Structure 1
Amino acid sequence: MAAPRSSSRTAAKPSKIPQVSWREPRPAPLVLVSGPEEICAERAIAGIRDYLRAEDPALEVSDIRADDYAPGTLLAMTSPSLFGEPRLVRVSGVERCSDAFLQEAVSYLDQPQDGATVILRHTGASVRGKKLLDALRAGTGEGIEIACPAIKRDGDRVDFAAGEFKAAKKRIQPSALRALVSAFADDLTELAAACQQLIGDVEGDVTDDIVTKYYGGRVEVSAFVVADTAIAGRYGEALISLRHALSSGADPVPMVAAFAMKLRTMARVAGNREPSRQLAQRLGMKDWQVDRARRDLAGWNERSLGLAIQATARADAEVKGASRDPIFALERMVTVIATRRPFGEE
């Protein structure tokens, strides 16, 4: 029997250079800005420029396209000038780099120019430039990496927006944060701009009313927002979110499906004390799914979780035709889950 193929992910060597957050960028002779999330990459690159310019206003900034590269350009732009000003060279499109750039950039790693900062932007869209990335990541302290992974999941977008307000030392109510993220669920750039607008315009805390005032026409409550709120035990807020979602055109069937998916995950994780990574591998889940389920389980027990699963199963049948009033079926399900008691019990 043939030996199984090892994936590129398995074969990849761990990076030996420091990993730096895109929110707190700092310069180094060589900076790799990797990953597909462009808004984060732009922030990181701009942050390094501002850092260097604050140290010396005479900073020379140059740009190179790695896919349209004239031989000798990298060395020319990094070489000291007559007056020795610091140099920042921003290289875009490394994932499409020419052979000439690749050869010169790999050679440059061995002898970076004094006073020069070179930023290599690689989106990860291709394996082109892998030789350069591997060599930089195996370096001996001359380089750093700023990773900008894709931000696609609801939880990642919430974390991103929360980070915007935290970095600005601005408080936003949790429900207002969720509403804001829901309003810009499909565009991270617009979400970032909305956060910055609220940070710049609003005095004091950002509340639900403020988010509604600015972006009320865009706020669409998703099924997962309703489920998260109910599972957290915020009964009144869960009912308001449910009604808002329904008024925005949400379909009851996928609404129930979102609840069912989260509760099934909670049930699979409940009572298990294995480390997240080990449990995730055994259950065929992601580490973050296990961690999220464990957070969701706060305040739940076997009885209340069973009641919630039964209520969801009943609602699923009713919204698919077993009841003439699917809205009531949804409200009853949300009530049972948010209060963690049988429906009608005081």
Structure 2
Amino acid sequence: MANPALVTLVVGDEEFLADRAVGSVLAEARAEDPDAEIHELQGSKVEAGELNRLSSPSLFGGRAVVVIRGAQDLAKDVIAEIVKYAAHPAEDTVLVLAHPGGVKGKALVDGVRKAGADVVTVAKPAKPGERLEFIRAEVRRSGRTISPAAAQALLDAVGGDLRDLAAACGQLAFDTEGKTIDEAAVARYYRGRAEVSGFAIADLAIEGKLGEALEQLRWALATGVAPVLIVSALAGGLRSLAKVGGAPRNLRGGQLASHVGMPPWKIDRVKRQLGGWGPDGISAAVQAVATADEQVKGGGADPAYAMEKAIHVIVASRTGR
């Protein structure tokens, strides 16, 4: 694994790809120095002088990694400080900046780019062909290939959310045999399309229908749907709530669809589901699903119990305003 650049700028509003790019730099830094001290910061909360303080040599030696997410929200004096720093970065500090693109905070993007930072641009695959290429690339990451028909079947089953697609690709690569994943393998794995189970469970839980959600969960597990896909669907449903609920109120139609990265029909459904949900409730539900995700991937002994518990928390959190 190559050593990370001293300053990396990740530009793009596709959250999954941006997180992956930042994670790649963190992995490189940890590979070089397993004891590296990681500092995760939000742009809106970074104060003047903070970067200089964190990048100052430690009495105990070792590398520091500073990750600033939401860099578009940095104050003007902090942007000036970071641009100046990027031209002459500290040798024992790795700085990672995540910026969604756009006009806000553009002085930071232009400044660190000119200063010689390593720039990683993440583009949201907007067209079906681009999403199919994403699926093929995800499968290649696992050392496998996927047939065109199987890739289309997977896209039809899971939808366009990249996190969900990546989880599905990883699980297919893990659970199936042979060099190439074919359409028959996708059909066997999903038992008649994943959204009939995982996404239906997520919708029922988000809408507060506890009994029906648990019934569908047990049916899905009994028919062989992978727990990781159900958890992924729960997480995807909650992310949709957070995106639509947190969008500016003045956005409508195509502008809103572009802002949240969803088709209009899905936005309409999510808006109907938002009743009874508030930020605290969504946060509690997301934490519960994150715990379930860890447990179904090996951190717990009973994936079914972990998912049932997550669904109970989701339903109970729905009234949290």
Change in CA separation of 1:137 and 1:70 when aligned onto 2, cut-off 3 Å: closer
1:89-128 alignment runs, 5 A limit: 89-124=66-101, 126-128=102-104
How far apart are residue 71 of structure 1 and its match? 2.3
* 2:184 matches 1:209: yes
Which of 171, 192, 197 is equivalent to 2:166?
Answer: 192
Instruction: Tell me the residue number matched to 1:320.
Output: none
Instruction: Tell me the residue number matched to 2:65.
Output: 88
How far apart are residue 39 of structure 1 and its match? 1.1
* 2:132 matches 1:132: no
* 2:118 matches 1:144: yes
How far apart are residue 218 of structure 1 and its match? 3.9
Change in CA separation of 1:162 and 1:210 when aligned onto 2, cut-off 3 Å: same
Which amino acid counterpart does residue 188 of structure 2 have in structure 1?
Answer: K
Distance 2:42 2:4 in 1: 20
Which amino acid counterpart does residue 59 of structure 1 have in structure 2?
Answer: A
Q: CA RMSD of the aligned region, Å?
A: 2.0
- Deviation >4 Å, runs of 4+: none
Q: What TM-score comes out, normalization by structure 2 length?
A: 0.57
Distance 2:195 2:133 in 1: 18
2:149, 2:183 within 8 Å by CA — same for their partners in 1?
yes
How far apart are residue 72 of structure 1 and its match? 1.6
Instruction: Tell me the residue number matched to 2:44.
Output: 67
- SS of residue in 1 equivalent to 2:52: helix
Cα deviation code 1:269-290 (max 9, x no counterpart): xxxxxxxxxxxxxxxxxxxxxx
- SS of residue in 2 equivalent to 1:45: helix
1:69, 1:101 within 8 Å by CA — same for their partners in 2?
yes
- SS of residue in 2 equivalent to 1:114: coil
How far apart are residue 31 of structure 1 and its match? 0.3
Larger Rg computed on CA atoms: 1
2:87, 2:112 within 8 Å by CA — same for their partners in 1?
no
1:25, 1:146 within 8 Å by CA — same for their partners in 2?
no
Instruction: Tell me the residue number matched to 2:24.
Output: 47
Where structure 2 has 5 or more consecutive residues not aligned to the other structure, the ranges are 197-321
How far apart are residue 25 of structure 1 and its match? 8.5
* 2:11 matches 1:34: yes
2:3, 2:32 within 8 Å by CA — same for their partners in 1?
no
- Normalized per residue, the structure richer in helix is 2
Distance 1:88 1:200 in 2: 32
Distance 1:115 1:196 in 2: 35
How far apart are residue 26 of structure 1 and its match? 6.1
Distance 1:103 1:128 in 2: 14
Which amino acid counterpart does residue 98 of structure 1 have in structure 2?
Answer: A
Instruction: Tell me the residue number matched to 2:154.
Output: 180
Cα deviation code 1:28-57 (max 9, x no counterpart): 111000011111111111111111211221
Instruction: Tell me the residue number matched to 1:58.
Output: 35
Which amino acid counterpart does residue 211 of structure 1 have in structure 2?
Answer: V
Instruction: Tell me the residue number matched to 2:291.
Output: none
How far apart are residue 190 of structure 1 and its match? 0.6
- SS of residue in 2 equivalent to 1:192: helix
Which amino acid counterpart does residue 200 of structure 1 have in structure 2?
Answer: F
How far apart are residue 106 of structure 1 and its match? 2.0
2:153, 2:183 within 8 Å by CA — same for their partners in 1?
yes
- SS of residue in 2 equivalent to 1:209: helix
Cα deviation code 1:55-106 (max 9, x no counterpart): 2211111111111222221111112211221111110111222223213212
Distance 1:58 1:102 in 2: 28
How far apart are residue 198 of structure 1 and its match? 1.0
- SS of residue in 2 equivalent to 1:151: coil
1:221-236 alignment runs, 5 A limit: none
* 2:136 matches 1:159: no
Change in CA separation of 1:25 and 1:134 when aligned onto 2, cut-off 3 Å: farther
Cα deviation code 1:254-298 (max 9, x no counterpart): xxxxxxxxxxxxxxxxxxxxxxxxxxxxxxxxxxxxxxxxxxxxx
How far apart are residue 214 of structure 1 and its match? 2.3
Which amino acid counterpart does residue 165 of structure 2 have in structure 1?
Answer: L
Which amino acid counterpart does residue 138 of structure 1 have in structure 2?
Answer: K
Where structure 1 has 5 or more consecutive residues not aligned to the other structure, the ranges are 1-23, 221-346
1:25, 1:48 within 8 Å by CA — same for their partners in 2?
no
Cα deviation code 1:193-224 (max 9, x no counterpart): 1111112222223221221122332479xxxx
How far apart are residue 138 of structure 1 and its match? 1.7
Matched residues, number? 194
Which amino acid counterpart does residue 60 of structure 2 have in structure 1?
Answer: F
